[in-house]
Amino acid sequence: MDMIKGFATKIGTSLYTKKHEIPNRKTPWFTTSRIALGTHLGDMNEKDSELYRESIEFCLENGINLIDTAINYRGMRSERDVGFVLEKLISKKGSIKREEIVISTKGGIIPGDIEANLFPQDYLENVLLENNVIKKSDLNIVDHLRHVLTPSYYQFAIEQSRKHLNLETIDIYYIHNPEISMKVLGPEIFYRQLRNLFSFLEEEVENQKIMFYGLATWHGLIYEPNESGYISLEKVVEVAKSIAGENNHFKFIQFPLNRQMDQGVTRKNQQVKHSYFSVINAARQLDLEVTTSAPFNLGKKFEEENNPAQLLTQIMETRGITSTMIGMKRVQHVVQNIEVIKNLSF
Is 85 exposed, middle or buried, given 0-12, 13-18 or 19+ CB atoms closer than 10 A? buried
Mean pLDDT of the chain: 96
pTM over 0.85: yes
Residue 3 resides in a domain: no
pLDDT of amino acid 314: 86
Quick one: three-class SS letters along 48-86?
HHHHHHHHHHHHHHCCCCEEECCCCHHHHHHHHHHHHHH
pLDDT of amino acid 299: 62
Residue 1 resides in a domain: no
pLDDT at 64 over 90: yes
Split into its structural domains, the chain has a count of 1
Residue 247 resides in a domain: yes
Given pLDDT bands bounded at 50, 70 and 90, which one contains residue 150?
very high
The domain in which residue 218 lies consists of: 10-342
Residue 5 resides in a domain: no
Phi, psi of 167 (to 5 degrees): -120, 135
pLDDT of amino acid 298: 62
pLDDT in tens, 277-321: 999 999 999 999 999 999 987 666 555 446 788 888 888 889 999
CB 178 within 8 A of CB 224: no
pLDDT at 331 over 90: yes
Residue 37 resides in a domain: yes
Residue 2 resides in a domain: no
The CATH number linked to 167 is 3.20.20.100
